């Protein structure tokens, strides 16, 4: 399928690996020039080189912490008016409801709620002026079905989801579509660190921890970054103009709900 976005430009945040990289690769495959971001320069530059070589698009690497104002300014300076924005950042650590203090919440809110909101506020006006834009926010299945040990994530992402619910409907008439992608468990380093948490907490092997988590997914396996990226690229495509303010689960059926 021709996604109709060849020659467009995109910022993909937190994209040196994992789900962000999956989105960057799928957009590059559709012919989109990219600014990609992560904090560590080395792996990020390597990813940028690999994507540029594989897909023949322009890829600019901007090493910066997207949860900070300075980091976002650096990313936006490299591409002030992108056609497409994919918001992403690392997820907060697991823990227990009584462990978290104000500072822990502020950190989670900065990374997983306020950073994507700030990025949207920066790019939406130009998207609206040109009459075309796409924003995809990577959130989590925890928005629909809370994951108890990820209370910081549950809280911050619920806030972002509320903001997108209203904002997406305010900008849709200008040809700008904002949607959220809700990953269930995907085979990335983040999944490995959560497997390690289960392994340590229950005193079981990593293999057993992974098998235990995979057994909670009707598909019987973790998702792949390619599958995730393909859905992201579709939401960023010309074809997705009538999809507004949706929260799309990619979870292998893990959230047990009819709707
Ligand atoms: P990952 O494989 O650990 O990759 C995280 C990426 O984000 C890396 O490129 C990392 O590079 C970058 N990053 C982290 N913090 C950043 C920051 N403050 N500023 C800029 N870049 C940053 O993680 P993932 O599995 O792709 O997860 C992506 C998001 O989806 C996370 O928020 C995660 O909680 C959420 N999620 C993941 C899953 C899953 O199963 N994988 C499920 C539900 C939700 P640097 O470290 O160099 O910055």
0.85 exceeded by pTM = yes
Close Cβ partners of 57 (under 8 Å, ≥ 6 residues apart): 28, 31, 32, 33, 34, 51
Mean pLDDT of 66-81: 98
User: What pLDDT was estimated at residue 29?
Assistant: 98
Give the C-alpha separation, 156 to 153, whole Å.
5
91: left (phi over 0), alpha (psi -120 to 50) or beta: beta
Mutate to test the pocket of ligand 1, among 188, 198, 248, 249 (most ligand atoms within 8 A of CB): 188
Centroid of ligand 1 to alpha carbon of 157 (angstroms): 14
From the list 257, 246, 232, 213, the residue with the least C-alpha distance to 26 is 232
What would the pLDDT profile of 6-44 be if each residue is shown by its tens digit?
Answer: 999 999 999 999 999 999 999 999 999 999 999 999 999
Confidence at residue 253, expressed as pLDDT on a 0 to 100 scale: 98
pLDDT confidence of 167, banded at 50, 70, 90? very high
For residues 237 and 3, the answer to whether their CB atoms sit within 8 Å is: yes
Share above pLDDT 70 across residues of the chain, in percent, rounded to a whole number: 100
Show me where the domains of the chain are located: 9-184+226-249, 186-222
Classified by CATH at the fold level, domain 9-184+226-249 comes out as Rossmann fold (3.40.50)
pLDDT at site 206: 94
What does the pLDDT read at residue 61?
98
- Using 50, 70 and 90 to split pLDDT, how confident is the model at 50? very high
DSSP letter string over 78-93?
A: H-SS-SEEEE--PPPP
Take atom 44 of ligand 1 and give the residue whose Cα is closest. Answer: 140
Q: How many angstroms does the Cα of residue 130 sit away from the middle of ligand 1?
A: 31
Residue minimizing CA distance to atom 12 of ligand 1 = 14
pLDDT average, residue stretch 200-212: 94
pLDDT at 34: 99
CB count, 10 Å around CB of 87? Answer: 26
Phi-psi region at 131: left, alpha or beta (left = phi > 0; alpha = psi -120 to 50):
left
Site to substitute for ligand 1 among 19, 136, 186, 189, most atoms within 8 A of C-beta:
19
Residue with CA at minimum distance from ligand 1 atom 33: 91
| Average pLDDT, rounded, for the chain | 97
Beta strands in the chain (DSSP E): 9-12, 33-38, 59-63, 84-87, 133-138, 176-183, 247-250
Nearest CA to ligand 1 atom 6: 14
Q: How many helices (H) and strands (E) does the chain have?
A: 9, 7
Which residues form ligand 1's pocket by a CB distance below 6 Å? 14-20, 37-40, 65-67, 88-91, 111, 138, 140, 183, 185-186, 188-191
124 CA → ligand 1 middle, Å: 24
pLDDT band per the 50, 70, 90 thresholds, residue 62: very high
Ligand 1, atom 4: nearest CA belongs to which residue? 18
Nearest ligand 1 atom, CA 63: 20
């Amino acid at each position: 399928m021709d996604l109709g976005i060849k020659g467009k430009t995109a910022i993909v945040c937190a994209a040196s690996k994992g789900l962000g990289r999956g989105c960057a690769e799928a957009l590059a495959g559709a012919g989109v020039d990219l600014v990609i971001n992560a904090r560590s320069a080395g792996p990020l530059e390597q990813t940028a080189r690999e994507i540029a070589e594989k897909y023949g698009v322009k890829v600019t690497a901007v090493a910066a912490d997207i949860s900070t104002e300075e980091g976002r300014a650096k990313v936006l300076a490299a591409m002030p008016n992108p056609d497409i924005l994919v918001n992403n950042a690392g997820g907060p650590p697991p823990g227990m409801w009584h462990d978290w203090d104000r500072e822990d919440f502020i950190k989670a809110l900065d990374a997983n709620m306020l950073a994507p909101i700030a990025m949207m506020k920066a790019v939406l006006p130009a998207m609206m002026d040109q009459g075309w834009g796409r924003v995809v926010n990577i959130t989590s299945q925890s928005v629909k079905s809370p994951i108890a040990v990820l209370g910081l994530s549950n809280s911050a992402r619920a806030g972002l989801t509320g903001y997108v619910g209203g904002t997406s409907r305010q900008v849709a008439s200008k040809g700008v579509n904002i949607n959220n992608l809700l990953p269930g468990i995907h085979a990335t380093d983040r999944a490995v660190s959560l497997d390690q948490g289960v392994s340590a907490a229950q005193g079981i092997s990593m293999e057993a921890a992974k098998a235990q988590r995979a057994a909670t997914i009707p598909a019987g396996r973790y998702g792949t970054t390619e599958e995730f990226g393909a859905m992201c690229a579709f939401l960023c495509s010309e074809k997705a103009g009538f999809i507004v303010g949706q929260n799309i689960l990619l979870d292998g059926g893990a959230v047990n709900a009819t709707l």
